[in-house]
Amino acid sequence: MEGFYFMNKTDFLLRLKLQKGIGYVKMLQIAMQLDTEEIDPIQLNALDLPLALRETCLKAYQDDRAGLAVSRISQQCKVISFFDNEYPERLRQIYQPPLILFARGNLELLNQKIATIVGSRLATAYSQEVINKMVPGLVKQKIVIASGLAKGVDTMAHQAALGNNGRTIAVLGNGLNHFYPMQNHFLQEQIASSGLLLSEYLPDTPPRPFRFPQRNRLLAGISESVIVTEAKEKSGSLITANLALQENRDVYAVPGPVTSVLSEGPNRLIEAGATPIIDYELKKERFDNLESSILFSE
């Protein structure tokens, strides 16, 4: 067959991701039938798939422009597929695990103990004080701090980790080639250099509001624990906590005054059974009665 050659599975999945009209469900349908490490057109023609999907597979395999894009992306960042050894085991366990990840930095951090810290973009000095007192103890325990690189609590968490010579992971709601928010440009570069940037989006994908709730499942998925500081009752932070609960992660919350709207989220989590943080340490208690029914989504 003219142009016949073997292609590794990760490169093929990336080529698929670059094709128009291929979303998560179709990619998963195809990926589940790729039972060899190397892909060739004979195997693709034999897949038990609708004709249109098989044609898309062959197009992805033969697409020269997609090949150039894969080469360019591979020079910009590390590309990991669900089938690679580098893929984090905890992330394999979640609902709809990403089939492709894009990373810059130290992938080994994904195999260490990870605590995700999330909260409001409009967090007050209360969150800053709690994070500044809590993070040094986590760093001493060799716990990696993860967050979403947003304004507010996310920025506080990343900066506290770096300021205490710890390691931090930023999970982005956009591609790695975008800096969002722009004020965190330098922080994002710092994390790429001494920690890890992680995204499920192609590197040139711009930030959009709907991508951040999708990003939250990765924040919950890579971690052993999720900590919520200040957050409104209906917020992305509560989405992350709810996802962590569903994935059987430990959920912690920082209690706050009932007069503060930013304490409504963590206080409701505690009411539901989350572990309150009262001495800047993560206790090992687990609550079997943690009820997801009272947690709210946007």
- pLDDT tens per residue, range 18-30: 999 899 999 999 9
Q: Which residues, in sequence order, are CB contacts of 243 under 8 Å at separation 6+?
A: 94, 216, 217, 220, 221
pLDDT at 3: 54
Closest CA to 36 of 49, 26, 46, 50: 46
pLDDT at 5: 73
Q: Whole-prediction pTM value?
A: 0.91
pLDDT at 298: 40
Distances (CA, A) of 287 to 114, 182, 228, 270, 276: 20, 39, 16, 11, 12
> Whole-angstrom Cα distance, residue 11 to residue 67?
9
Pinpoint the residues of the chain covered by CATH 3.40.50.450: 107-294
DSSP 104: E
> Whole-angstrom Cα distance, residue 292 to residue 152?
25
Q: State which residues of the chain have pLDDT below 70.
A: 1-4, 284-298
Which of 3.40.50.450, 1.10.1200.10, 3.40.190.10, 1.10.10.10 would CATH assign to domain 107-294?
Answer: 3.40.50.450
